[in-house]
Amino acid sequence: MRVIDFRLRPPLKGFLDMVMYADLERTARMAAGIGMNLPPSVRQKSIDLMFKEMDESGIEIGVVPGRISPVLGTIDNEDVVSMVATYSKRLVGFTSVNPVDRRQAIAAIERDINQGMKGVVIEPGLLANPMHLDDARMYPIYGHCEDTKVPVLFMAGGNAGPDCSYTSPEHIDRVARDFPDLKIISGHGNWPWAAQIIHVCYRRPNIYLSPDMYIFGMPGAMDYVNAANGFMAERFLFATAYPLMSFRDGIDSFLKFPLKEAAIDRIFYRNAAELLGLS
């Protein structure tokens, strides 16, 4: 079985300064909360061991998102570009932008896409002055990405902002409505609003769902699974949110769900490959 992991954070460069690697016991507690354990590559902070674990699990490619956030820490786009250039057969990068300055953001997108990045990650709820996904200041950026066919990954679930309104699906619904040709990925699957985001996806065929860690041992898991077996089969993306779990645990746990055989290849590989232009 071929696999693309749509969200992983390697033990390399700026990621090592983030709390997920700087405080491994905290990360281990978070993993335990969803029934997972930290893999050896995380404990040893070894990129070579991470690739070995990917090989053992059948994961061919991992998507590495940048980040701009004074709340959770910043991953410089230069770090992600460097990782992707060094490990071009194993990693795909999404550049992060600060939407406050639209001209600067669009220039950064153009620069980094030309350097091999495959998409844009926007996490407006994590900025110093948080914004919702449908804030009008971001619309020129969405328009640019729609026109240039660059997919956008939102941090749209979990701790996506200072209160739970930042995960509420009506914000992503409005963006998908106003930019119908923009490919949108809901990172963290707008959890905990599983049923609500699935309704939005039913209305908006340009939204892809990637619940990643929030499909494991969390309320609403079967709502995601039912959608993946049904109308979302071609828009569902597998991800582990590594380092919060091992690749093997993520795959094995996902395969324990009652998945239709016809949906498995699409969820684990084909959907992501097509979205990233790798097929």
For 72-218, list the strands marked E by DSSP.
Answer: 91-96, 119-122, 152-155, 184-187, 207-210
CA distances to 14, 19, 40, 188, 247 from 28, in Å: 20, 12, 12, 19, 15
Domain spans of the chain? 3-275
Residue 27 is predicted with a pLDDT of 94
Rg (CA), the chain: 17
What is the C-alpha separation between 129 and 239, in angstroms, rounded?
29
Query: Taking a C-beta distance cutoff of 8 angstroms, is the pair 93, 116 a contact?
Result: yes
The structural architecture, per CATH, of the domain 3-275 is Alpha-Beta Barrel (3.20)
Phi and psi angles of residue 5, each rounded to the nearest 5 degrees, phi first? -90, 115
Residue 202 is predicted with a pLDDT of 98
Residue 62 is predicted with a pLDDT of 98
With CA atoms as reference, report the closest residue to 144 among 112, 167, 168. Answer: 112
pLDDT by residue, tens only, the chain of 279 residues = 999 999 999 999 999 988 889 999 999 999 999 999 999 999 999 999 999 999 999 999 999 999 887 767 778 899 999 999 999 999 999 999 999 899 999 999 999 999 999 999 999 999 889 999 999 999 999 999 999 999 999 999 999 999 999 999 999 999 999 999 999 999 999 999 999 999 999 999 999 999 999 999 999 999 999 999 999 999 999 999 999 999 999 999 999 999 999 999 999 999 999 999 996
Strand pairing class (119-122; 152-155): parallel
